[in-house]
Structure 1
Amino acid sequence: MATINLQKGQKIDLTKGNPGLTKIMVGLGWDEVSKTKSGGFLSGLLGTKPAEIDCDASALMLDANDKLTSKERLVYFGNLHSADQSVRHSGDNLTGGGEGDDEQIHVELAKVPSGVHKIVFVVNIYDCVKRRQDFGHIANAFIRVVNSGNGQELCRFNLTEDYSGKTSLIVAEVYRHADEWKFAAIGEATRDASLGEIVRRYQ
């Protein structure tokens, strides 16, 4: 079965078309635009090196009203798993270097509490204001969903828009629909300067 490539706003069934799917891995990746492009010609001459861009992926477990009801349902580098162990973060990647996923979030769909109706995946740039960084410095961002049972990539959403000036991305969501789980590609950029500001949208 080939990977389904999604466009912004598209949705697909995850469990309905994949009987027995209970565990997924959500991989998020990005590349830093070349230093010469982002730092400018003078940065090389003057010997100054721009700070590494540290993007952080997080998962917010929301109720039926799209609210984050407890801090234990926010999974990020400072809280690597939800209290019920249904959502787990692989850990922080400080530079976005290397091929493939930069950060991974694992979800055991069968363990997700009934009160959680949606899991929203977001990426923000750590310390973006002080470092004067935004998503104009990032390229090739993507999110993909993999069947953890057999390693098959189910779908992928490449974020191809120009997000210059924006510092956070609401990338995608996995949500309940009747007795099934679906995936929606969102790709909404914001000027939220920290994960805390993103969280306030859901309180």
Structure 2
Amino acid sequence: MTISLSKGQRIDLTKTNPGLTKVIVGLGWDTNKYNGGSDFDLDASAFMLYQDGKAKGVDDFVFYNNPKTPNGSVVHTGDNRTGEGDGDDEQIIMDFSLVPANVERVGITVTIHDAQARSQNFGQVSNAFVRIVDESNGREVLRYDLGEDFSVETAVVICELYRQGSDWKFQAIGSGFSGGLAALCKNYGLDAN
């Protein structure tokens, strides 16, 4: 049975799902019936975060141009440039057993590519969700539907997976940013230039 979460909720992943070590973070969205002349190219990313809540360098930032961490603990499966079709539009695979011990959180985000140039924002995006799937058997563990809370934002922190002792937990965040990827990178301690 899938658990549906609301913004701000936290839930245990590994304690209530013994043996859960590798998950698929599936992200999906639709665009409203708006035609600005360009496809909506939304991009999922993962930020490996340390005790101070910041990433330390480019190896801690996983996205379509840097598709995996050096040890393979987090892997981006590929860029969907249109968001067409049902189900997950992009996926990030995370192996809890490989995440370095000094990484305390993994921030999962979505940005709109070239949002400013294309006059696009999350007010034009609907049905956005994240789901956690047990990679070993394909079972959906939880789902967080973002709702329609956004207007001018061009980047969203969807959720964070975080370590508490030996267990991993999930927090539904749904926090929007203006300024796209550069704003997210700055939030997480990286220089986007």
Shorter-normalised TM-score: what interval?
Answer: over 0.9
Matches within 5 A, 1:97-116: 97-116=84-103
1:185 maps to 2:183: no
Q: Counterpart in 2 of 1:32?
A: 31
Matches within 5 A, 1:114-153: 114-153=101-140
1:155 Cα deviation after fit: 0.3
Which of these two proteins has the greater Rg computed from alpha carbons?
A: 1
SS at 1:120's partner residue? strand
1:50 Cα deviation after fit: 1.7
1:7 maps to 2:6: yes
1:113 Cα deviation after fit: 0.3
Q: Counterpart in 2 of 1:92?
A: 79
CA distance in 1, matches of 2:182, 2:73: 22
Q: Is the 8 A contact 2:71 2:98 kept in 1?
A: yes
Q: Counterpart in 1 of 2:186?
A: 200
SS at 2:184's partner residue? helix
Q: Is the 8 A contact 2:177 2:183 kept in 1?
A: no
| TM-score w.r.t. length of structure 1 | 0.91
CA-to-aligned-CA distance 1:116-165 (integer Å, 9 cap, x gap): 10000000100011101001111100000000011110000001133111
- 5+ residue gaps in structure 1? 40-48
1:23 maps to 2:11: no
SS at 2:151's partner residue? coil
CA-to-aligned-CA distance 1:151-203 (integer Å, 9 cap, x gap): 1100000011331111110100100011100000000111122x232111121
- 5+ residue gaps in structure 2? none
CA RMSD in angstroms comes to: 0.9
Percent identity of the aligned residues?
Answer: 44
1:10 Cα deviation after fit: 0.3
CA-to-aligned-CA distance 1:38-72 (integer Å, 9 cap, x gap): 24xxxxxxxxx620010000000000110101211
CA distance in 2, matches of 1:185, 1:138: 18
| TM-score w.r.t. length of structure 2 | 0.95
SS at 1:78's partner residue? coil
CA distance in 1, matches of 2:70, 2:166: 23
AA matched with 2:4: N
CA distance in 2, matches of 1:189, 1:196: 13
SS at 2:123's partner residue? helix
CA distance in 2, matches of 1:149, 1:12: 20
AA matched with 1:202: Y
Q: How many residue pairs align between the two structures?
A: 189
Question: Where do 4+ consecutive residues of structure 1 move more than 3 Å?
Answer: none
